[in-house]
């Protein structure tokens, strides 16, 4: 190993940690009521800070990854993250707001280890699966106010979840979830209205 490659191996991780710390600091400085754990990762372009809009008293748990890129080489749809007041993003969750807007309403809880993806790859026979254009016909995620998303869910591009809805743990959600309904499963389907007894 040459001296140059040895120095690179030594300093590259330090540089990456410094960039991550500065990125997190910039988000916290702009949103003074943000309660983000020190291990949460904020991955965004240096000029994309304006694409992150957080309401008051938003909480982001340990090891959550928040990725926001306003511009992407894979899509002409701008990426944004908009989170309402008193909402939370749980431990280990992965929020990927590139190629579309992810909007999370006020008082909404995203439990631990959830994945929210604003855009997905276009799938065509014989084409590579990565480094290709994203599907611009179905992008972004809209989550209403006072929604609860249980642990380990995947929320796919184009999903709209209405106010007061509940998503059961481990669900994969695509499409429209009406307000006030409990959905669950893979793919997620209506289980019942919130508060009503489930028909057996």
Strands lying side by side in the sheet with 172-173: 41-44, 65-69, 94-98, 115-117, 154-155, 172-173
| Active-site residue (options: 8, 47, 121, 131) | 121
User: In terms of Cα–Cα distance, which of 182, 181, 133, 176 is closest to 155?
Assistant: 176
C-alpha triplet 162, 163, 168: angle, nearest 5°: 75
Contact 177, 162 (CB under 8 A): yes
- Residue entry with tokens 């982001």: 60
Does residue 121 carry a catalytic annotation? yes
Query: How far apart, in Å, are the Cα atoms of 138 and each of 54, 77, 98?
Result: 24, 10, 13
User: In terms of Cα–Cα distance, which of 152, 143, 156, 32 is closest to 91?
Assistant: 152
Strand partners, 80: 101
C-alpha triplet 166, 167, 170: angle, nearest 5°: 155
Residue 132 burial (CB count, 10 A): 12
Alpha carbon distance 19, 10 (integer Å): 15
Tell me which residues are annotated as active site.
Answer: 121
């Amino acid at each position: 190993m040459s001296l140059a490659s040895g120095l690179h191996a030594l300093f590259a991780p330090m540089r990456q940690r410094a960039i991550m710390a500065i990125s997190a600091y910039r988000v916290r400085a702009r949103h003074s009521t943000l309660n983000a754990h020190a291990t949460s990762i904020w991955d965004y372009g240096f000029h994309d800070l304006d694409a992150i809009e957080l309401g008051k008293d938003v909480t982001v748990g340990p090891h959550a990854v928040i990725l926001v890129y306003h511009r992407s080489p894979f899509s002409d749809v701008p990426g944004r993250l908009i989170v309402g007041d008193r909402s939370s993003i749980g431990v280990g969750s992965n929020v990927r707001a590139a190629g579309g807007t992810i909007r999370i309403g006020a008082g909404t809880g995203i439990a631990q280890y959830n994945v929210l993806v604003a855009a997905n790859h276009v799938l065509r026979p014989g084409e590579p699966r990565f480094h290709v254009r994203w599907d611009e016909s179905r992008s972004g995620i809209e989550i209403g106010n006072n929604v609860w998303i249980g642990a380990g869910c995947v929320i796919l591009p184009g999903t709209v979840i209405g106010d007061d809805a509940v998503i059961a743990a481990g669900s994969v959600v695509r499409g429209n979830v009406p307000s006030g309904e409990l959905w669950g499963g893979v793919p997620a389907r209506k289980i019942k209205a919130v508060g009503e007894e489930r028909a057996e």
